[in-house]
Amino acid sequence: MQFSDRLQEKNSHCATVTDIQTVSILGATGSIGTNTLDLIARSADRFQIESLTAYKNVSQLAKLAKVHNAKFAVIGDETKYKELKSYLAGTSIEIGSGETGLIEAGARQADCTIASIIGSAGLRPSIEAVRQGHRVALANKECLVAAGDVFMSEVSLANAELLPLDSEHAAIHQVLCRGMLDEVKQIIITASGGPFRNWTAKQITAATPEQALRHPNWSMGAKISIDSSTLMNKGLELIEAHHLFAIEPERLKVIIHPQSVVHCLISYYDGSVIAQMANPDMRTPIAYCLAWPGRMASPTEPLDLIKLQSLTFEAPDTERFPALDLAISALIKGGSAPNIMNAANECAVAAFLAHEISFTDITRIVEKCLEKADQQNLLQPVGTIDEVLALDHEARQLVGRLIDQN
Amino acid sequence: MQFSDRLQEKNSHCATVTDIQTVSILGATGSIGTNTLDLIARSADRFQIESLTAYKNVSQLAKLAKVHNAKFAVIGDETKYKELKSYLAGTSIEIGSGETGLIEAGARQADCTIASIIGSAGLRPSIEAVRQGHRVALANKECLVAAGDVFMSEVSLANAELLPLDSEHAAIHQVLCRGMLDEVKQIIITASGGPFRNWTAKQITAATPEQALRHPNWSMGAKISIDSSTLMNKGLELIEAHHLFAIEPERLKVIIHPQSVVHCLISYYDGSVIAQMANPDMRTPIAYCLAWPGRMASPTEPLDLIKLQSLTFEAPDTERFPALDLAISALIKGGSAPNIMNAANECAVAAFLAHEISFTDITRIVEKCLEKADQQNLLQPVGTIDEVLALDHEARQLVGRLIDQN
């Protein structure tokens, strides 16, 4: 049998790419949502939109629902329900609002649900999507960082196909999905190093929000840009990788790679390392999730290594960027520790952006919050989403007091 | 279903790694052979040696056969048969010699045959191994370069599992074996660029064999070191990749990567590029072939990108290194063109090593030989190994005359 025949045979069980897929997008007006719709518009004959949701941007939601012929449009902010209704008057598009509406959008049957609502608001709708037992492309970090154990047992129960929708984890999935985990020596996630990679410890102390927001390679929201500059983002990604790929913390590693072209490296016991690379463009991981287990074209600029000339790598400096080690210790601690760390970090980042605390205060306050939580016996295993949300609330109050005392 | 369960299920059909495999090594005293035996000695409970062969090195062959408890030892040089017999007196190891012996070694049933006899002498024994219908790890270039069509139809007929045993093609196999070829945009093979990468055209004209033999990263035989310095080696590898992976020349590309750490890059239509990396150590691709479809440990030094710091890439300069384009045009021409080119190159390299021609003469004479062969209507499709060997012979006579006239 020739190699090409063998490939053909191996893949004969895969869904034909000509089947029309129904897709729901929870968080349609954000960066992931609009990039997904951009891709879908380029292959409109392959996809049909079931639900689209947004939190506040009602005019944009209405426009997208009409252009993409969605069946169901949901606005998270209840006060905008009437506005959405008037925008969509005369169409056959069903309308929903509030958390009930978002949950219904997640629960409505779709071959693939893009779960890209930001923050803890994304927890329940994402879990509803998982419960369908179909494919869920997950961009919401809280499902894994704050509620990893709860969320993954829902995935198991529903026998859902969970695909990660960010560049690093989609990269790992591309390499790992067809190998055996016990042959893997290490999973390495790359980090750009952020805008302060070459700053001295003293310079970093005086870093302003404006400076921290200048991410070298990706254009992202404010929260994630700050997380990239502290390296907390990579810490959160290690926690996600742990849950997504059922891999212990000891086999996870971060490496600084300023060009953000290599997204992951998986090393095997025979000395082989398989890496995934791509220009930084979210449409590549989105296309991967939409077309899985096949592939589809994306307008991402093709990688040109000759033009790039050089890919560089260095060790992360955990002295100047202590957030990474903090996240790793929360991951090892397990239970509610990552949940509390995540809530504390969100508040601390908001306080930094509001010029209430300094850049180095962010990680210091998160660390203090975890210590306090430990003293108050809050670092416990969690079994339900209600517990996750209650602890999230408590952590935010705790960190609020710490910020006030700062 | 969690990712780890899914992996488990996907791989449940794979052979258990605890089964004992029988292995034959055609070319046991060369670099591939000794590296294979090094790996096997480290996992002696998993492997049993069926046949070992060598061409001239009878004492080493006898020693290896005894140490590894081989069932059958073959010396290619008939005149050394008696010597082998006396070395192995008192053991139960069967003995063979000459081409008949080598062919028998290939034909004897083994779960995996390492086909690493150098040159056209490897053709018939490798084909015998393929005809078993089991796994063949191929290191002999002639099977694909000189006899690609004939050899691959034998692979098809026997339904054999052909694995490539060199770093670039094993790298491609690792990435491709679990994807679909029609999603692949390009297969990129890396080249170190050889010792003359930064030399001017004028300097290259005066290059001596001693200078050409200094390969920057791999320690290899003289012939392949010269081929690396002319870039003909990458041309031959493109021809091999074409046959191994049934991929057209237009989707094959070479890129210069002086560190020899990235061995291949496969780019997909969604913007993803999957690359295989490893420190330059033949034991990694050998371990890949021995353990396929699993993986086994290899003592290859683990890749340390932080220590390496930088991976660089540049375009090959086809002005200073015209052999690459010459090989591509032979690949596109097809039929006997790669066969004749390969024979001509072997003779020209030998003449260069003997100080009979200059470095730049090598490619010039190979090109002239192809022109002459075309004029004499020798560039024809070939259907049998006899035809391949007859054309090889004719090309060598042709190039001999060209060298004399030089």
H/E element, B340: helix B337-353
* B286 within a domain of the structure (yes/no): no
- Cα–Cα dist B329/B189, whole Å: 17
pLDDT at B10 over 50: no
Whether residue A231 is found in the same domain as residue A200: yes
Distance CA(A130)–CA(A158), nearest Å, equals 7
| Whether residues B126 and B198 fall in one domain | no
A26 and A156: one domain?
Answer: yes
Chain A positions touching B18 (Cβ under 8 A) are none
Helix, strand, or coil (residue A324): helix
- CA-closest candidate to residue B61, choices B85, B34, B29, B30: B29
Residue A256 forms part of a structural domain = yes
Of B179, B272, B298, the CB nearest to A270: B298
In a domain, residue A294? The reply is no
Distance CA B179, CA B314 (A): 27
Q: What pLDDT score does A214 carry?
A: 85
Tokens standing for residue B382: 């070939």
Q: Is there a single domain that holds both residue A157 and residue A180?
A: no
**A288 domain-assigned:** no
- The β-bridge relationship of strands B72-75 and B47-54 is parallel
3-state secondary structure string across B273-338? EEEEECCCCCHHHHHHHHHCCCCCCCCCCCCCHHHHCEEECECCCCCCCCHHHHHHHHHHHCCCHH
The Cα A165–Cα A182 span in angstroms is: 24
Burial B181-211 (b: 16+ CB within 10 A, else e): bebbbbbbbbbbbbbbbebeeeebeebebee
Helix (H, G, I), strand (E, B) or coil at A215: coil
How many structural domains are present in chain B?
Answer: 3
How confident is the prediction along chain A (406 residues), in pLDDT tens digits per residue?
Answer: 455 554 444 444 333 445 899 999 999 999 999 999 999 999 999 999 999 999 999 999 999 999 999 999 999 999 999 999 999 999 999 999 999 999 999 999 999 999 999 999 999 999 999 999 999 999 999 999 999 999 999 999 999 999 999 899 999 999 887 667 889 999 999 999 999 999 999 999 999 999 999 876 766 678 889 999 999 999 999 999 999 999 999 999 999 999 999 999 999 999 999 999 999 999 999 999 999 989 999 999 999 999 999 999 999 999 999 999 999 999 999 999 999 999 999 999 999 999 999 999 999 999 999 999 999 999 999 999 999 999 999 999 999 999 999 8
Angle A3-10/B167-176 helices, nearest 10 degrees? 20
Percent of chain A with pLDDT over 70: 94
Dist CA B147 CA B139 (whole Å): 14
Backbone angles phi, psi at A115, to 5 degrees: -95, 90
- Pure H helices in A282-336: 283-291, 305-308, 323-333
Residues B80, B123 within the same domain: yes
Domain check: are B270 and B208 in the same one? Answer: yes
Q: Tell me the ipTM for this assembly.
A: 0.90
Name chain B contacts of A262, Cβ cutoff 8 Å: 275
Q: Is A128:A148 a contact under the CB 8 Å cutoff?
A: no
Region for A314 from its dihedrals, namely left if φ exceeds 0, alpha if ψ lies in -120 to 50, beta otherwise: beta
Beta bridge partners of A24: A113
User: SS3 of A184, please?
Assistant: strand
Range of weakest confidence among B11-15, B40-44, B260-264, B322-326 = B11-15
B45 inside domain? yes
The C-alpha atoms of residue B141 and residue A372 are separated, in whole angstroms, by: 66
Question: Best mutation site among A247, A289, A295 for testing chain B: the one with the most B CBs within 10 Å?
Answer: A295
Q: Give yes or no: residues B200 and B235 share one domain.
A: yes
Q: Count helices and strands (H / E) in chain B.
A: 19, 12
By Cβ distance, the residue of A178, A271, A310 closest to B281 is A271
Q: What is the pLDDT of residue B6?
A: 45
Nearest-CA distance from A371 to chain B in Å?
32
Contacting residues for A219 by C-beta, under 8 A, at least 6 apart: none
In a domain, B290, yes or no: no
* A17 and A153 housed in the same domain: yes
Length of chain A in terms of residues written: 406
* Burial of residue A383 (number of CB atoms within 10 Å: 0-12, 13-18, 19+): exposed
Domain co-membership, A20 together with A154: yes
- Partner-chain residue, chosen from B160, B180, B284, that has the shortest CB–CB distance to A294: B180
At B13 the pLDDT is 36
- Please check whether residue A330 is in contact with residue A337, taking contact to mean a CB–CB distance below 8 angstroms: yes
Using the 3D structure, point to which of A134, A165, A196 is the last residue of a domain. A165
Check: CB of residue A166 under 8 Å from CB of residue A285: yes
Q: Which residue of A has its CA nearest to B311?
A: A311
CB-nearest to A295 from B171, B268, B277 is: B268
Q: What is the DSSP letter of A42?
A: H
Q: What is the DSSP letter of B115?
A: E
Please tell me the predicted confidence (pLDDT) of residue A8: 45
A88 in the same domain as A37: yes
B272-330: pLDDT as tens digits: 999 999 999 999 999 999 999 899 999 999 999 999 999 999 999 999 999 999 999 99
Angle at A68 (CA atoms; ends A67, A73), nearest 5 degrees = 100
Domain interval for residue B219:
174-280+300-318
In this complex, do B244 and A3 lie within 8 Å of one another by their Cβ atoms? yes
* pLDDT above 80: residue B148: yes
Q: Locate the chain A residue with the closest alpha carbon to B188.
A: A305
- pLDDT band, very low/low/confident/very high, at B18 (cuts 50, 70, 90): low
Which among B103, B137, B165 is the end of a domain? B165
Q: Among the three residues B141, B165, B189, which one is the final residue of a domain in this structure?
A: B165
Is B327 a domain residue?
A: no
Residues B125 and B27 in one domain: yes
pLDDT at A218: 64
Do A295 and B269 count as a contact with CB atoms less than 8 A apart?
A: yes
The CATH number assigned to the domain holding B83 equals 3.40.50.720
A177 contact residues in B (CB cutoff 8 A):
3, 6-7
CB within 8 Å: B3 and A246 = yes
Query: At residue B234, does pLDDT exceed 90?
Result: yes
- Among B3, B152, B284, the residue with its CB nearest the CB of A2 is B152
If you average pLDDT over residues B205-221, what whole number do you get?
84
Which chain B residues contact residue A268 at CB under 8 A? 295
pLDDT at A72: 98
Q: Residue A364 and residue A361: Cα distance in Å, rounded? A: 5
Q: B270 and A297: CB-CB below 8 Å?
A: yes
Task: Give the pLDDT confidence score for residue B160 in this predicted structure.
Answer: 97
CATH number at residue A348: 1.10.1740.10
DSSP annotation of A314 reads: B
Is there a contact between B169 and B147 (Cβ–Cβ < 8 Å)? no
Q: What is the pLDDT of residue B180?
A: 72
The SS3 of residue A378 is: coil
User: At how many degrees (to 10) do helices A359-375 and A385-405 cross?
Assistant: 120
Interface probe for B, chosen from A40, A296, A305 (most Cβ of B below 10 Å), is: A305
Beta-strand (E) ranges in B86-147?
A: 94-97, 112-115, 135-138
A78 and A121 co-located in one domain: yes
Mean pLDDT of chain B: 93
Any idea which of A109-123, B166-180, B254-268 has the lowest mean pLDDT?
Answer: B166-180
Inter-chain touch A174–B2, beta carbons under 8 Å: no
Residue contact B270–A277, C-beta within 8 A: no
Residues of chain A neighbouring B273 (CB-CB closer than 8 A): 276-278, 303
State pTM to two decimals: 0.91
Residue identified by tokens 């954000």 is A30
**Interchain proximity A255–B310, CB inside 8 Å:** no
Query: Do B163 and B136 touch, CB atoms closer than 8 A?
Result: yes
Q: Which of A270, A287, A301 sits opposite B287 (nearest CB)?
A: A270
A156 part of a folded domain: yes
Task: Give every CB contact of residue A139 below 8 A, 6+ residues apart in sequence.
Answer: A27, A32, A114, A115, A116, A165, A166
